[in-house]
């Protein structure tokens, strides 16, 4: 598959690109915001394109020609305000879904956040972030795309263990970013994850075992 990674310069995005680049059957296309980021990937022999989630749907769709799967890992970041969160995590995500539909992309995988499917579990310090993730996920469910919604817990930079916990609803917990990328890679290969949504934390099961809970 040709896989477009939106947010490829982010920490999870970089893990995904690296893992896809080593895969014999999938080709990563890294979507970044800046020329220097594009050049960094191109120096590694990885195809990279410049895209802006605050641009138009048509501009995003033009980057998805011959793309089979979109992986959305972008985010406004913890140091921006509610306005950027709504424009990137909510509106930007939805525009990328509209673009995927326009470009006839078959599969769409999004990184959301643990608990946002339930308003009672929204983050009290930044409810607008939870709202942005919640409604982007809801739009994706109704989009007609073959979706997978992954809601990881607190993200760490620890080395991935390959041991996770997956369920429709979990207590909050942490997970290495590398293991989030490992789960995404598994979802690409596992049709059981199509049209599924789940929380994700570190656990005691292998990813393959954990996915049987879906």
Q: Which residues are catalytic?
A: 129
Alpha helical stretches, state H, the chain: 11-22, 35-43, 57-62, 82-85, 93-102, 127-141, 177-189, 207-211
45-48-50 Cα angle (round to 5): 155
Q: Are residues 32 and 48 in contact, defined by beta-carbon separation less than 8 angstroms?
A: yes
Q: Are residues 149 and 194 in contact, defined by beta-carbon separation less than 8 angstroms?
A: no
203-207-208 Cα angle (round to 5): 135
Question: Three-class SS of residue 109?
Answer: strand
């Amino acid at each position: 598959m040709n896989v477009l990674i939106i947010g490829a310069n982010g920490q999870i995005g970089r893990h995904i690109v690296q893992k896809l680049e080593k895969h014999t059957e999938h080709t990563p296309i890294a979507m970044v915001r800046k020329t220097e980021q594009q050049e960094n990937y191109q120096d590694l022999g990885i195809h990279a394109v410049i895209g802006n989630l605050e641009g138009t749907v048509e501009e995003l769709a033009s980057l998805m020609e011959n793309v089979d799967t979109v992986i959305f890992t972008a985010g406004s970041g913890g140091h921006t305000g509610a306005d950027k969160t709504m424009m990137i995590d909510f509106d930007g995500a939805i525009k990328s879904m509209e673009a995927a539909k326009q470009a006839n992309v078959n599969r769409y995988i999004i990184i959301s956040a643990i608990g946002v499917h339930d308003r009672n579990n929204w983050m009290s310090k930044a409810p607008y972030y939870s709202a942005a993730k919640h409604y982007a996920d809801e739009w994706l469910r109704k989009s007609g795309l073959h979706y997978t919604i992954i809601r990881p817990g607190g993200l760490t930079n620890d080395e991935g263990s390959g041991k996770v916990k997956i369920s429709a609803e979990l207590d909050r917990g942490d997970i290495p970013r590398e293991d989030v990328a490992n789960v995404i890679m598994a979802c690409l290969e596992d049709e059981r994850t199509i049209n599924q949504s789940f929380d994700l934390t570190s656990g005691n099961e292998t990813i393959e075992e954990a996915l049987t809970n879906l």
